[in-house]
Structure 1
């Protein structure tokens, strides 16, 4: 079995517990306007790897990864599109006593045994909830938010340890109503440990230019600290720890 990956980061510190070995998987069905890796969208791009090849590289980092619950993270692109491969990789990582984390946008259209196996083999899910207003979500990502919401509910039903990630984009996701909608949606999900507010940035702009794609957020600035604090206060009132 082979997986199609975009790139690897051997020393990640913000993508799960401890220090993470991150594999960015190739392919994504969302087309987020703020994506900083649009080169991962192509389902036929990237390069092929096998689980033994990944493990051979990962074990050299074990002394750095294992303290403080560190391990591996499947990111993207969208790793769920290669659920069977990621499951086999996670299973091999557990045999090496490394924790596993799935960083996903939740775009799961069909709940197959492969999805169940992957989630069961995952220690932590970091789920991106882009926008609770579906009309805005479709303009922002190109698709409906129904699948991400269904996946959030699936994780709750399975009591899967989850962090929610919410990118704060001025003019798109920084209004009070959007914050209230996120708080209301996640209010009763006791599997969620925290909600992370991720400030929008322009770091991905150069890739859009290299790929000759129209970048619609060129004049959008990063949100202010006051904005992040306002959203933090609104969402935290629904019962979850909110950080930025």
Structure 2
């Protein structure tokens, strides 16, 4: 079943099921606080430096419902603190947008903070996707948005796809006051050129409404190379080493990461929940 393409109709009383690659119960780098992270299966991008090629295939993995994920997540609630909660990552979480939306809606029924980890590739203004995305944002406290590279030609060479729709997604989120972290993976010889970093810095600074709570540089690593060998997929960056500490500091300086520190005092949206005849209604407070 390909949930993103909406080719399977879900009956009213039928639970939505999605495909999960893996789960991390104590994630410290996947959003604010300590978070329960579900890595969903499926991604259409083919980033040359992706360290999880085993998440690419759509329609495979462990089949789960929102209730199963949330029931498991709540076992670790005591560790979350005032910022933590659940993060949906991937793969690409928006590939399974129906499943993602179902999890976040039901998470809010339990007063669980929600974080969406996305690179934005599935975003489109077309229906039915856009209405689902628009609704998803109502239940998303914060998003981790991975910007690969600004230049569209370099982006297509690096990932196999264009990035126009990705920036349309970011702009939509910013204009609607949707909190986000911006992330950029620093890959020597690919995404670490000063002119590209300056362009990224100017773009992030132009986003309105103080929605960017954090901007961070993620150094490229080679931990996923083994998977390519095991899966017999050619790895295009065999000779690339992780960036030096100096190059990471240079990128952080250009991106002005120290200026984006609102995450320190960030708190998830507060919801008052009202139940009328088993139908939950929400109001942000």
- Fold in common (TM above 0.5): yes
Q: Match for residue 231 of structure 1?
A: 251
The count of aligned residue pairs is 241
Q: Match for residue 140 of structure 1?
A: 158
Q: Match for residue 94 of structure 1?
A: 108
- Is 1:110 the counterpart of 2:124? The answer is yes
- Is 1:122 the counterpart of 2:132? The answer is no
Contact 1:11/1:21 (<8 A) preserved: yes
Q: Match for residue 88 of structure 2?
A: 74
Matches within 5 A, 1:41-56: 41-56=56-71
- Is 1:187 the counterpart of 2:205? The answer is yes
- Is 1:210 the counterpart of 2:230? The answer is yes
Q: CA deviation at 1:239?
A: 6.1
1:171 maps to which of 184, 189, 193: 189
Q: CA deviation at 1:80?
A: 0.7
After superposition, what is the alpha-carbon deviation per residue over 1:136-188, rounded to whole angstroms, capped at 9, x for unaligned? 11111111111211111111111111100100000001111110110121222
Q: Match for residue 265 of structure 2?
A: none
Q: CA RMSD in A?
A: 1.7
Contact 2:123/2:166 (<8 A) preserved: no
The range that moved more, 53-62 or 17-26, is 53-62
State which structure, 1 or 2, has the greater radius of gyration over its C-alpha atoms. 2
**Stretches of 4+ moved more than 3 A in 1?**
237-242
CA gap 1:233/1:40 in 2 versus in 1, 3 angstroms = same
Contact 1:183/1:236 (<8 A) preserved: yes
SS of equivalent to 2:178: coil
Q: Give unmatched runs, 5+ long, in structure 2.
A: 1-15, 263-285
SS of equivalent to 1:68: coil
Q: Distance in 1 between matches of 2:95 and 2:118?
A: 10
Q: Match for residue 219 of structure 2?
A: 199
Contact 2:87/2:117 (<8 A) preserved: yes
Q: Match for residue 77 of structure 2?
A: 62
Q: Distance in 2 between matches of 1:147 and 1:239?
A: 27
Q: CA deviation at 1:109?
A: 3.6
2:242 maps to which of 218, 222, 227: 222
CA gap 1:11/1:239 in 2 versus in 1, 3 angstroms = closer
SS of equivalent to 2:241: coil
The range that moved more, 14-23 or 227-236, is 227-236
Q: CA deviation at 1:91?
A: 1.7
Q: CA deviation at 1:68?
A: 3.2
SS of equivalent to 1:172: coil
The range that moved more, 193-202 or 104-113, is 104-113
Q: Distance in 1 between matches of 2:52 and 2:182?
A: 20
- TM-score, normalising length from structure 2? 0.81
- TM-score, normalising length from structure 1? 0.94
After superposition, what is the alpha-carbon deviation per residue over 1:186-231, rounded to whole angstroms, capped at 9, x for unaligned? 2221311121100000000011111100011111111111111112
Q: CA deviation at 1:97?
A: 2.1
Contact 2:124/2:165 (<8 A) preserved: no
